[in-house]
Each structure stands twice: as structure tokens, then as C-alpha cells.
Structure 1
Amino acid sequence: MSHNTISLNKQRQPLDHLESVWLFGYGSLIYKTDFPFLHSKPAYIYGWQRRFWQGSHDHRGTPEAPGRVLTLIESAGARCAGMAYEVTPDTFEHLDHREKNGYLRIFTPLHWLDESGETEGVVYLAGADNEAYLGPASDHDIAAHIARSHGPSGPNSDYVLKLAQALRDMSEHDEHVFAIEKQLLALLS
């Protein structure tokens, strides 16, 4: 599958018939909201965990030297916390472009961190079948890759450091993110 997924997302997941959609952010969408939204609140999804296994050719790296960003991998019993944003369907024009580098939209149940209940929401994830997928590596190798990567959105390291801080601000612990952050800080100092 091509890493440019804009048309594929529009084809697979038309949203125009909906008044609003809840979007779940688990990476940069937690701390970088460059899109309009109606409401936001902390949420989580079950059965998924974050991993720095996706290449970034367009934001945190270049086509010649992609950075590493997050995707979700299935993991029974896992809980992934993030932010949910209620958006109008036209917001996906911007979001599909922002998340075009191998990410597909899927619907998943969202659970609220601060209240009971759930709703259906959309999440972007990049599977192993997309051209930008980098796959697993050791924490040290992932951190070293991130430390040397830079793209139009800035240093790849900013992505990790801002996300780690955003998770701390939410009182959430993510072993993978914090392990990469620790390795990265050691490399940068």
C-alpha cells in the first residue's frame, strides 16, 4: 500500500453523512491540535498500544531519511490513553493530509478517562503493509534513529519529548514512550 493514503481514506471511510465524529489522538494529535474541534476530552481505547514503528517521510523526516513516529499495534488487554476531539466531517480534509503517510482511519470504541460510558470514534493507524512502515527495533536503535532525524515539522526528537510531557500532564504512563524518551535524552546530552 502506498504511503499516501488520502484518497484511500476518503474511499474507505466516507464521513460526509455524519454531523460530527470523535477522533482519537494517541501521538502528536494529543499536543498539536492544528484543526478546529467542537469538544475535547481524555479518552482511551482497548486492545492497542503505541509503538515508534512508522516512518515519517513528510513531517519528522524526509523521503530520503524518514523519521520515526507512532502507530498502534494490536495487543490483547492493552489500554492506550490519548485525547478525543469531536470534529465535523470537513475537518478530515486537513486530518487526512496530515496523517497521509501510511495511516488509515478505522472506527473503534472510545472510553472516557474521567467519566463512564463510551462512544464510537475514528483513529488513524499505520499497518505493516504500508510503504512507510519501519517495524520494530530495540529502544536504543529507535532512539538513535529519532535523534538524527529532522523534517519539515522539526526535529524528530521534539515529537517524542512533547508527547512524553503531554502523557505526564494527563497522569498517564506509557512504558514504550518513556523508554524511548530516556534513551533519546541520553543520546542528546
Structure 2
Amino acid sequence: MAEGPVAPGDGSAWVFGYGSLIYKVDFPYLDRRPASIEGWERRFWQGSHDHRGTPQAPGRVVTLIEAPGALCRGVAYRVDPAVFDHLDHREKNGYVRHRLAITLDGAAEPVPGLIYVATADNPAFLGSAPLAELAAHIAQARGPSGSNRDYLFELARALRALGSHDPHVHELALRVDAVLGATRRPAEHG
């Protein structure tokens, strides 16, 4: 795999993963780098009718909301444009592509890239709720890709492995543990 920013004109593109794209990499890539984007925060505000819930009982997955001054850590992948057919299908439940600058760890300058964001105007958007309500919802939701709580716990673990503490994600993981009767050690997820 090549290291460093994309060479001009090689046709590849950077895509930033901030949710399951961090830990569930089911697509080929040319490079993978820890990275960050500015001005965005993760929130469990998007409904999942197709992966972590059902149309009758949607789960909750992350999207990004604009937040001036915020820094969102994740992973950037340099991919061949053909990969977007797969990613567009995977992120089909309300997500659209946005262009933005991605800061790759160790790079002197940001690179142009893409993110998938589910905005409030999509039909699957569930919006804000108190953390206790979010935790209760996530603890019980399940869909074709598995339980909603596993999505949350995997994301918390992946962020911790990146050396990133996301207060929203990690507080939710602790609260879901409490809802489940603390069957897992909180340190696993927080």
C-alpha cells in the first residue's frame, strides 16, 4: 500500500470513516490512515432500518452534525472510485456524500476527501434525544447486521484503539452497559 497523500491525477479518492467504516472494512483500499476532520461531531441521531434495526423498529447509528471548533477522529481510506458503488449501497439509508478536507495523521497538509452524512431532512433521521433514552433504544434494537449495542461497543473500542475519546459515544456505551445490567465491564467500552 502506498503511503502519503494521493498523487494528483491517479483517480483515487479519500473517504473518511467515523462510524462502522472504522472497524468494519468490507471494501478494498489503497491506503488506510488515522485521520480527523474539523467542524463535525458524531451523534447517534440516524435511524437504521436496514442494518441495526428494522423498518418497524429502527436502530440508531452515527451521523455527523456540524459543530464549529470540534474535531472528529476516525480513519481515512484512499480508494479506487469503483469502491463507491459498494459504499453508496452500504450507506444508502439516508446518507449522502459531502466533500471536505481530511487531515491525515502525520501529513503536513489536509487532503480533499469525502464523507457520508445523514442530514435531518432524510426520512430515516431520528434526531436528538436524552442520553438515557438513546441508551435504552440502542440496548434493545437489532437488525440484519446484528444488535445495535454491538455497533456502539465496536465503535467505542475502535475509537479507543485510535487514542480518541468521544464523549457522546463513550457515555452512551457506559449507559447501555447500565441498561444491560452491567454484564460487561464499563472499561471495555468507555
| TM-score, with structure 2 as normaliser | 0.89
Of 38, 47, 53, 1:46 maps to 38
Equivalent residues in 2 for 1:82-101, closer than 5 Å? 82-101=74-93
5+ long unaligned stretches in structure 1: 1-16
Please say if 1:27 is aligned against 2:19: yes
Of 159, 164, 172, 1:180 maps to 172
Please say if 1:117 is aligned against 2:109: yes
What's the CA shift for 1:117?
A: 1.8
5+ long unaligned stretches in structure 2: 1-8, 182-190
Of 57, 60, 69, 1:65 maps to 57
Please say if 1:37 is aligned against 2:14: no
RMSD: 1.1
Q: Which structure would you say has the larger RCO, counting Cα contacts within 8 Å and 6 or more residues apart?
A: 1
Report if the CA contact (8 A) 1:42-1:114 is conserved: no
TM superposition outliers: structure 1 runs of 4+ over 3 Å? none
Structure 2: which amino acid aligns with 1:128? A
d(CA) in 2 for partners of 1:168, 1:109: 23
Secondary structure at 2:82 match in 1 = helix
d(CA) in 1 for partners of 2:129, 2:111: 34
What's the CA shift for 1:176?
A: 0.3
Count residues with an aligned counterpart: 173
Equivalent position of 1:159 in the other structure: 151
Q: Percent identity?
A: 55
Equivalent residues in 2 for 1:107-146, closer than 5 Å? 107-146=99-138
Structure 2: which amino acid aligns with 1:45? I
After superposition, what is the alpha-carbon deviation per residue over 1:122-178, rounded to whole angstroms, capped at 9, x for unaligned?
000000000000000011100110111000000000000000000110110100001
d(CA) in 2 for partners of 1:184, 1:82: 22
